């Protein structure tokens, strides 16, 4: 059963019962508890439900972390595949930077047994990492309204003190000419510095991000490898490694 089909079942049950348990959803979908918990986390990220111990309840108000942008509601199955692959790249000896963003956030669900050290500017990612007792550091900085990530001079100063073996970035647009781009200048500045402090940089982007240009340049194509679900234009491979999952 596809992730979208499970999501439809979960939301239908919530609309009828208002509260559902993980075990009940496992029976309905035939999926494992781990899979259902990942589904619930994804839907919680989108503001569709509220997670509680052992299950979920219907979301009556916006999540404590704020409503995710409309783009985060799309390509859920593709983002999950990308996140699963990206998480598999992390070893226990790594020092990892996790950027804010829905696909990067989804990686956390596949890192439950990791002994790597994680740094992030995302308040929600930090919370999820600590739920699984993972080694977690959070940047200082100014809280970015709505997105609930940390930006600004203090964030850049604290980020500049770290050296990462691997960095994973979300992005708003990718083109051959403009490279990786983001919509917000302060968010873009954090992404740029994080990439420069990482030995290996991976941009996690579903196929819809290709050919899109956001307002602020983050980095040229050759500074990062791209992990995506589908690459329709092979010209990108002339500039960097592209991994399709």
pLDDT top residue among 213 and 52: 213
pLDDT tens figures, 80-112: 889 999 999 999 999 999 998 888 988 988 898
Q: What per-residue confidence (pLDDT) applies to 157? A: 96
Q: Please determine, for residue 228, whether its predicted confidence score (pLDDT) is greater than 60.
A: yes
| Mean pLDDT, residues 150-170 taken together | 96
| Mean pLDDT, residues 130-157 taken together | 90
In angstroms, the CA 86 to CA 78 distance is: 12
Q: Please determine, for residue 66, whether its predicted confidence score (pLDDT) is greater than 60.
A: no
The helix-helix angle for 33-45 and 22-29 (nearest 10°) equals 110
Segments making up each domain of the chain, as ranges: 3-58, 70-244
Q: What per-residue confidence (pLDDT) applies to 49? A: 87
* Fold classified for 70-244: Rossmann fold (3.40.50)
The helix-helix angle for 22-29 and 3-17 (nearest 10°) equals 130
Give yes or no for a contact between 189 and 210, defined as CB atoms under 8 angstroms apart. Answer: no
Closest CA to 42 of 85, 20, 88, 74: 74
Q: What residues have CB less than 8 Å from 19, skipping those under 6 apart?
A: 52, 55, 56, 57, 58
Q: What per-residue confidence (pLDDT) applies to 172? A: 95
pLDDT top residue among 165 and 24: 165
Q: What per-residue confidence (pLDDT) applies to 64? A: 45
Do 3-58 and 70-244 share a fold? no
Q: What per-residue confidence (pLDDT) applies to 101? A: 84
* Fold classified for 3-58: Arc Repressor Mutant, subunit A (1.10.10)
| Mean pLDDT, residues 34-57 taken together | 85
pTM for this entry:
0.76
Give me the chain's average pLDDT, please. 88
Q: Please determine, for residue 23, whether its predicted confidence score (pLDDT) is greater than 80.
A: yes
Share of the chain above pLDDT 90, in %: 62
């Amino acid at each position: 059963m596809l992730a979208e089909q499970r999501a439809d079942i979960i939301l239908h049950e919530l609309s009828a019962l208002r509260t559902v348990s993980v075990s009940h959803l496992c029976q309905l979908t035939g999926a494992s508890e781990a899979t259902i918990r990942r589904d619930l986390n994804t839907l919680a990220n989108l503001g569709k439900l509220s997670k509680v111990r052992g299950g979920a309840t219907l979301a009556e108000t916006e999540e404590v972390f704020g409503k995710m942008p409309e783009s985060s509601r799309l390509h859920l199955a593709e983002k999950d595949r990308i996140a699963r692959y990206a998480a598999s790249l992390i070893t226990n000896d790594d020092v990892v930077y996790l950027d804010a963003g829905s696909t990067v956030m989804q990686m956390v669900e596949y890192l439950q047994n990791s002994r790597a050290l994680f740094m992030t500017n995302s308040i929600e990612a930090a919370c999820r990492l600590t739920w699984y007792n993972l080694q977690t550091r959070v940047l200082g900085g100014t809280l970015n309204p709505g997105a609930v990530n940390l930006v600004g001079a203090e964030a850049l100063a604290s980020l500049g003190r770290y050296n990462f073996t691997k960095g994973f970035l979300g992005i708003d647009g990718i083109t051959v000419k403009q490279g990786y781009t983001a919509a917000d200048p302060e968010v873009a500045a954090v992404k740029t510095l994080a990439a420069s402090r990482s030995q290996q940089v991976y941009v996690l982007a579903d196929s819809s991000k290709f050919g899109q240009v956001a307002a602020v340049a983050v980095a040229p194509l050759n500074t990062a490898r791209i992990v995506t679900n589908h690459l329709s234009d092979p010209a990108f491979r002339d500039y960097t490694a592209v991994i399709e999952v």
